[in-house]
Structure 1
């Protein structure tokens, strides 16, 4: 397999995204119940202003989602999910930054790609909706395949579970005709894992390079930070920065964040450190 550094690009319509430096994905939730910023950007103008702000502060991709995936969230019917997305998606696309659609539903991914999204961020790694892989393949979009579980289990080997999950996701992608250069993997920090398992995965992150796919890590404001620092959601920026900086140092090609500017600065520092001896 080729390494993520050798691959150096995530392909999608419009030319793709070079991965020669750590990239920052800004989170735009148009949901009333997301764990961190639910309800803040439901209004169309507020959502668009947030997207413009993230772009100005250094976001490389805008990830738009209309269904909360937080633990205990109520599932949203596709019709309601698209009702939330439609007023903002095409206008965010028109801003000229690559747009990702955060959904596990094939119908939403299809409509979003038709509206201009070029990345599908699937928190179930193509394993929830049997039509998702075909939709991604036909659209030409890139796909981010995240590891997930319906519930955490302290008794399992989480690294082995991730291995088996990723092998299945990559097999599904290959069978659908999604080439390796359009695939990214996400270990799913905060999804179906205990606190110890989350930190174990982060500590062993470099082991996931064996798949020859670039990695994305998203731990922004999550409970594993609050559990260590004893702070509420809005006070988890520093913890988020710490985790994402470590992840980039361990090889993450992209980080998914709420606070774009400080993370874009951190990514630039990681990039500068990585230049040592390469001049």
Structure 2
């Protein structure tokens, strides 16, 4: 019988990468794209964040402004009013990331215990360096994304890679020591653009910076599977295998325990981590 040859994921690509870390999504907003992630009351949001920590989340990403396509922008004052008690409450128990594009909100959140700035605008690297926090710089053509917008790319992988390299270079020049780049799946990208970026994860992970990836329950998964947002957990989990294999460092998700279980199986089978 001919021997079956199996190409083991992770055996060649970035074998030095540690376990895939899970960042829990916590939206203190009434209009996020998935109702299951909305927490209008601070007390309930804090309870949910504590549950995520208990389920093994490495960090909780707290956001007060929806960035879904067509979302209405909000003022920094209103955004901080929404997230203030949640950031302060959770920072006592674990690592907190603030998901914002407003420098005023990012800075005050850090003073209240946040230790990561998750910047959907890709422009707050100097602030993060000055404050000495972790920094996530994301690719996007516009935030919030305009409803129905269809940006055109020469080559989406090349364009996004170049943009992320520019962000990383600027962040390092500013003095950032803890840095992640995020290709911005779903932010100003069509279904095929998102799929091409996922196929190119090994290339993105080879750019020289740690990679954070967020695909949880996003609309392109619905376009592929025909499922509504409530039923996109299996499709979200399916992306973990190529992300893990490529060497992604952090996965940003709504469903922490299911994600942790899937990663545990990948690491047990393939021996990374």
Ranges of 4+ aligned residues in structure 1 off by more than 6 Å: none
Asked whether 1:191 is paired with 2:187, we answer yes
Structure 1 partner of 2:146: none
Deviations for 1:179-200, whole angstroms, at most 9, x for unmatched residues?
Answer: 3xx1111111111111001001
**1:252 correspondence with 2:267:** no
Do the aligned partners of residues 224 and 25 (structure 1) sit closer, same or farther apart at CA in structure 2, a change above 3 Å counting?
same
Matched, 1:105 2:102: yes
Give 3-state SS (helix, strand or coil) of 1:211's partner: coil
- Structure 2 equivalent of residue 142 of structure 1: 134
Q: Equivalent residue of 1:112, what SS?
A: helix
Q: TM-score, normalised by structure 1?
A: 0.86
Task: For residue 120 of structure 1, give the secondary structure of its aligned residue in structure 2.
Answer: strand
- Alpha-carbon distance, 1:39 to partner: 7.6
Provide the rounded CA distance (Å) in 1 between the counterparts of 2:85 and 2:125.
Answer: 26
The number of equivalent residue pairs is 255
Quick check: 1:4–1:214 contact (8 Å CA) kept in 2? no
C-alpha distance in 2, partners of 1:202/1:39? 24
Name structure 1 gaps, 5 residues minimum. Answer: 9-19, 127-131
Larger deviation, residues 161-170 vs 147-156: 147-156
Is 1:264 aligned with 2:256? no
RMSD (Å), alpha carbons = 1.9
Bigger Cα displacement from structure 2, 168-177 vs 115-124:
168-177
Q: CA deviation at 1:175?
A: 2.9
Deviations 1:31-74 (A, max 9, x none): 11111137831101110111111111121110000001111111
Alignment correspondent of 1:226: 222
Are 1:4 and 1:212, in contact at CA under 8 Å, matched by a contact in 2? no
User: 1:154: Cα distance to partner?
Assistant: 4.7
Q: What residue is the counterpart of 1:34 in the other structure?
A: 32
Aligned residue among 73, 92, 103 for 2:71: 73
Q: Residue in 2 aligned with 1:43?
A: 41
Asked whether the 8 Å contact 2:26–2:38 carries over to 1, the reply is no
**TM-score w.r.t. length of structure 2:** 0.88
CA contact (8 A) 1:218 1:256 kept: yes
Cα drift, residue 152 of structure 1: 3.3
Deviations 1:168-225 (A, max 9, x none): 212321332213xx11111111111110010011011100122211111110010011
Q: Which residue of 2 aligns with 1:273?
A: 269
Give matches, 1:208-227, under 5 Å.
208-227=204-223
Once residues 155 and 92 of structure 1 are traced to their aligned partners in structure 2, the CA distance between those partners, rounded to angstroms, is: 39
